[in-house]
A and B are shown apart, each in its own frame.
Chain A
């Protein structure tokens, strides 16, 4: 139940502006709730005098079973001037499909954007039963405020049993806000998802810098929410015979709900190049490459293998590469088929960003370098002597 403290309410109408359902109106200087309130919570935290509150009682087990459907946030990115779903959305679809089949429920992808969302139908071929489009001119760019409002509205209206986000920078910023607004349990950065015999979602994730794994459940709240690490689950080949529907979700959003302002933006990554998060082959450089000029060799090796370059934080600090290419705890998590680490020691903060790579090769002149503990092939030697020969031979 949404409760209004009429003593506190000043009639300022802020709640009216943020409600995504038009379910709260101010009459005679006091807010009043309509029947269509979905308890999405958007108004509660916006009230400047804390006049609104939602009483959330623990939900009995039979209530939990009324929540149904696997939902996925269809995060998009701009590529060559087009707005397209990120790779992680296809990975989530493949995994979500398995959960949906196991529970005999539908799989829905939720897209937020302005009018430019096109070509979403193809996601049906990747496993979706339903595409839900939330379109509004204020959703053209990601903001936590607007996306939290809309996703919370979708959840409170649709009542899914599972909601998954990619554990991307935006996903990890958005999911906890939604979880806190709706008072839901949330598991971070999962690498394993399963349904147990009770129909509960078992979410498995690494913690303590990857030193331990933990399996986590959200027994009391629905939907069960998780962010899922990109590049862990593989996606399936599209199946053109699959059928599905596209639905529009009515979005009500006011500019005053968005409290962040982007003052400036600077692009550092090359738009034509595959990002390190999506790359299949990465050649990564560390301080052991000795000087910036030597990165030429890293680039040549990447070119010869059809991959991209990346690096450790040490060389980002030295300004040899931009941070958009930094692998690790304070950079990006990558999961390529092949990762070649050249002159990288293998500090734990670096390893957590790349240890899910399928094949790892390391070149380091120190036989005790920790990077060798995760490498499939380790070469103990001077990389600056080996690389020129390797590149020459590869080109032959």
Chain B
């Protein structure tokens, strides 16, 4: 028994020595989302009307991709991998990642994943990472997805994987011979520079406003890159831990928000009159 344990320790040690020789690996979790400005709901069924709505790569995920690529450009010898759980159409979000410069991508697509809440999403991602990319160094996620809007998948994923996290980062750098990551993050009172040992997870809340448009060559290159599709059977995961059945929250009702009555629109081409209207309104509402 003791000898057995000793063996295990030495295996672990050997693995960590070997790991030093391989490239650093950055995983970027991305989600495809509808352009939220167009979302409508069917008043009769209370469900989302998704037809005719454009799908895009979630902008906060795009920041995460850009940050991963910037680390690769700056430090070199880094492999970047994009992962997404979603329907087959979500492969277009991954193609966008490949065009931006990510080395390879994996889509987790299976009917059985449908209806996942944030717990089931994070758990499925964690099992996929363990099964396929267990030797990762860093996971980058977006601050939130602009559809579900929960901002929960990142911290749930890091908790399941047992790694530390830095949330709401705006810039990152690698330190300590690529063994640590240091991130500047925006907090309510100002800025904070935080450091964690890798492996760890960082969520991005901002990036450059100007989106880089991929060149023709990048688009061609992307076609040669690996886009792998995995299903539930590729993961070590119990049937009842998947999708709706594995979810701990349940959406019981979806309804449109109370629309606020639009107030009056007043012509303000004449400053004197506009100021008078404004003060009248402020008086009426007892602000002055």
Residues of A within 8 A of B (CB): 7-11, 29, 44-47, 49, 144-145, 148, 168-169, 172-177, 179-181, 183-189, 202, 206-221, 259-269, 275, 277, 281, 305, 317, 322-324, 329-330, 332, 337-338, 348, 355, 359-361, 363, 367, 372-382, 385-386, 388-390, 392-394
Across-interface contacts of A208 in B (CB, < 8 A): 34, 36, 39, 48, 146-147, 149
Determine if A380 and B266 form an interchain contact, defined as CB atoms under 8 angstroms apart.
yes
Q: How far is the CB of B14 from chain A (nearest CB, A)?
A: 14
- Contact code string B185-226 (vs A, CB < 8 Å = 1, else 0): 011111111111100100001100100000000000000000
Closest-by-CB residue of B relative to A338 is B287
Determine if B155 and A381 form an interchain contact, defined as CB atoms under 8 angstroms apart.
no
Closest-by-CB residue of B relative to A7 is B4
Determine if B257 and A206 form an interchain contact, defined as CB atoms under 8 angstroms apart.
yes
Range of interface residues on B (Cβ < 8 Å) = 35 or more
CA–CA, A177 to B119, complex, Å? 10
Determine if B252 and A323 form an interchain contact, defined as CB atoms under 8 angstroms apart.
no
Given contacts A173-B155, A259-B164, A269-B189, contact A212 B248 (CB under 8 A): no
Given contacts A189-B149, A268-B190, contact A376 B263 (CB under 8 A): yes
CA–CA, A175 to B155, complex, Å? 9
Closest-by-CB residue of A relative to B63 is A330
Q: How far is the CB of A232 from chain B (nearest CB, A)?
A: 13
Across-interface contacts of A189 in B (CB, < 8 A): 149-150
Given contacts A209-B149, A217-B249, contact A265 B190 (CB under 8 A): yes
Determine if A377 and B119 form an interchain contact, defined as CB atoms under 8 angstroms apart.
no
B254, CB-defined interface residue at 8 Å: yes
Top 4 A-B pairs ranked by shortest CB distance? A381-B268, A185-B248, A45-B162, A188-B150
Determine if B266 and A377 form an interchain contact, defined as CB atoms under 8 angstroms apart.
yes
B80, CB-defined interface residue at 8 Å: no
Determine if B164 and A380 form an interchain contact, defined as CB atoms under 8 angstroms apart.
no
Q: How far is the CB of B69 from chain A (nearest CB, A)?
A: 20
> Which of B19-27, B84-92, B276-284 touches A?
B276-284
CA–CA, A2 to B262, complex, Å? 57
- Contact code string B159-170 (vs A, CB < 8 Å = 1, else 0): 111101111100
Across-interface contacts of B34 in A (CB, < 8 A): 208
Identify A216's interface contact among B182, B252, B266, CB under 8 A.
B252
Determine if A49 and B287 form an interchain contact, defined as CB atoms under 8 angstroms apart.
no
CA–CA, A184 to B119, complex, Å? 8
CA–CA, A189 to B151, complex, Å? 9
CA–CA, A208 to B257, complex, Å? 11
Determine if B39 and A211 form an interchain contact, defined as CB atoms under 8 angstroms apart.
yes
Given A209-B37, A329-B146, A378-B264, 17 new contacts (CB under 8 A)? A46-B162, A49-B8, A169-B167, A185-B249, A207-B147, A212-B257, A214-B251, A216-B249, A219-B250, A260-B195, A266-B191, A267-B190, A275-B189, A329-B144, A363-B274, A386-B268, A389-B274
Determine if A186 and B268 form an interchain contact, defined as CB atoms under 8 angstroms apart.
no
Given contacts A361-B278, A372-B262, contact A177 B155 (CB under 8 A): yes
Determine if A261 and B275 form an interchain contact, defined as CB atoms under 8 angstroms apart.
no
Determine if B151 and A188 form an interchain contact, defined as CB atoms under 8 angstroms apart.
yes
Across-interface contacts of A148 in B (CB, < 8 A): 159
B117, CB-defined interface residue at 8 Å: yes
